[in-house]
Amino acid sequence: MVCESADGDEVGCNSINEGGVENTIVRLPNSCGGGPFARLVRIWDSPDQSIPDEARQKLRKRAPAPGPVQNAIIDFDFAAVPPT
C-alpha cells in the first residue's frame, strides 16, 4: 500500500492512523478484494520501499511524490468492529 495525497504530504496515511489503525474501515480500489470496503487490522512501514514502475506511473499522475510504502493486513470481518 502506498499512501498518497495531492499536496505531497502524508495526509492520506495520517487519516488512517488517526485514533488507531485497528478496525478502521477503508475503501479499496475497484479491482482489489471481495468488495468495496475492508477492515484494517494492522499497517506498518515496509522494509522494501520500492514501487513497481507501472504503479509509480499511476501514482505520479495523482500525486507529485508518493508517501511511504506500507504493508497492511485487511479482512472483511466487519462484525469485529466495536459499535463505538
Three-state DSSP at 5 gives coil
pLDDT value for 6: 47
- Reference 26, options 83, 75, 82, 80; nearest CA is 75
DSSP 20-82: -STTEEEEPPTTSSSSSEEEEEEEEE-S-----HHHHHHHHHH-SS---BEEEEEE--GGGS-
Segment 22-81, tens digit of pLDDT: 888 888 888 887 789 999 999 888 898 888 888 778 777 766 666 778 888 999 999 999
- pTM (two decimals): 0.66
The pLDDT assigned to 77 comes to 94
Given a contact cutoff of 8 angstroms between Cβ atoms, the answer to whether 3 and 10 are in contact is yes
Strand partners, 26: 38
